[in-house]
Amino acid sequence: MSHKRMGNQTVVMEDPPEIITSYTVVGPMEGQGPLGGTFDRVWKDSLNQEQSWEKAESKMMEDALQGALTLSGIQQDQIDFQIGGDLLNQLISTHFAARSLGFPLIGLYGACSTMALSTALAGMLIDGHFARYVMVGVSSHHDTAERQYRMPTEHGNQRMMSAQWTVTGAASLLLGRSATGIAKINGAHPKVTAATIGRVVDLGVKDTNNMGAAMAPAVADTILNHLQDMKRQPSDYDLILSGDLGEVGWNLVKDILRQSKVKLGDEFADCGRMIYGADQDVHAGASGCGCSGVVFAGDILQKMRLGKLRRVLFVGSGALHSPISCFQGESIPGIGHAVVIET
């Protein structure tokens, strides 16, 4: 077995790639939330003068990728890969953004776990010497997701208390090989040191209004596997950050891990519980690729650059169903992908 593999599911970077820059663009509702000040750009309205919500989402991702690239001062043709995805069928947000940007593209679908999955793969590509610079980009949009997964946006219905609100937001990272000589912007460059690729876990949850419950077992499974593979404790991390479990899923992960004698305390947070305030009436929290994307690329990386957080386990959570599979009575397969970020 390669010396870069640890245990069953974990890879460890030999020469940890750096996150050189990051950039976030969000919609107005996210801008009004508690993390409003941490985003690079807040749109005044979620259509942003585009012809459709799909075009708006694609533009959002393009702006986020362009933003991180501009901040870094790296030239466009130095980027070896763009890697990432979104929630829409055939990854149209990613594909249309890439049409404008022209980077060699690897489109990924990990549902809402795409940020963590893309970061892990970008790290492996760079550490494997297949690339020098890789851009990661993810997006989601409340209205595009509503019309694809649920109901027309103006249709009146009552949301369940366990339902989550899809974030309108795009996030990007620019990763590069360490010691590339790029001037350190806003403090230290956080590094991707390890990644645990998750397995699909499905304990039979069928309720699409309770995605947190569908994803929690997979996230818990990945956290356990990661800790076993790395021979670590939760307390070895300043922060264990799940993607978009929301209130219900976040509590369920703690319940599941308690049964395996792993106790998560104050170091366990969830992006889905951070974006919106209690007054914003979103019920169980936030979701979407943009949810973990903008929290990780915004607030968390800023805290890492300032040295407020040293070692973070970021576990993206994804619900890998489709409206068709749900109508056919299938349960929701969940997945969790973990990356370790250190300064």
Query: Which tokens belong to 131?
Result: 């690339």
Interface segment toward other proteins; rule CB under 8 A; list 29-37, 89-97, 109-117, 157-165: 157-165
Q: How many residues bind other proteins (CB under 8 A)?
A: 39
CB-nearer residue toward other proteins: 124 or 257 = 257
Nearest to 280 by CA among 36, 56, 46, 44: 36
153 binds other proteins (CB under 8 A): yes
CB-nearer residue toward other proteins: 90 or 158 = 158
Among 248, 297, 332, 341, the residue binding other proteins under the rule CB under 8 A is: 248
Among 182, 188, 224, 269, the residue binding other proteins under the rule CB under 8 A is: 224
Instruction: Give whole-number Cα distances, 277 to 26, 134, 234, in Å.
Output: 15, 34, 27
201 binds other proteins (CB under 8 A): yes
119 binds other proteins (CB under 8 A): no
* C-alpha dihedral, 86 to 91 to 97 to 102, nearest 10°: 120
CA pair distance 250, 316, nearest whole angstrom: 12
Query: Which tokens belong to 305?
Result: 């650059």
233 binds other proteins (CB under 8 A): no
89 binds other proteins (CB under 8 A): no
Among 47, 92, 203, 326, the residue binding other proteins under the rule CB under 8 A is: 203
What does residue 185 show for φ and ψ, rounded to 5 degrees? -95, 130
CB-nearer residue toward other proteins: 152 or 181 = 152
Residue 326 CB, nearest approach to other proteins (Å): 16
SS3 25: strand
CB-nearer residue toward other proteins: 85 or 285 = 285
CA pair distance 119, 259, nearest whole angstrom: 30
Nearest to 287 by CA among 165, 197, 168, 105: 165
CB-nearer residue toward other proteins: 194 or 248 = 248
CA pair distance 257, 267, nearest whole angstrom: 14
Interface segment toward other proteins; rule CB under 8 A; list 22-30, 84-92, 103-111, 247-255: 247-255
Burial class (CB in 10 A: 0-12, 13-18, 19+), 222: buried
| DSSP letter assigned to residue 244 | S
67 binds other proteins (CB under 8 A): no
The neighbour count for residue 78, using CB atoms within 10 Å, is 11
CA pair distance 340, 121, nearest whole angstrom: 12
260 binds other proteins (CB under 8 A): yes
CA angle 318, 322, 328 (to 5 degrees): 130
244 binds other proteins (CB under 8 A): no
Interface segment toward other proteins; rule CB under 8 A; list 13-21, 96-104, 145-153, 300-308: 145-153
Interface segment toward other proteins; rule CB under 8 A; list 14-22, 56-64, 72-80, 153-161: 153-161
Residues that bind other proteins (CB under 8 A): 8, 51-52, 147, 151-162, 199, 201, 203-205, 210, 213, 217, 220-221, 224-225, 228, 247-248, 251-252, 255-257, 259-260, 284
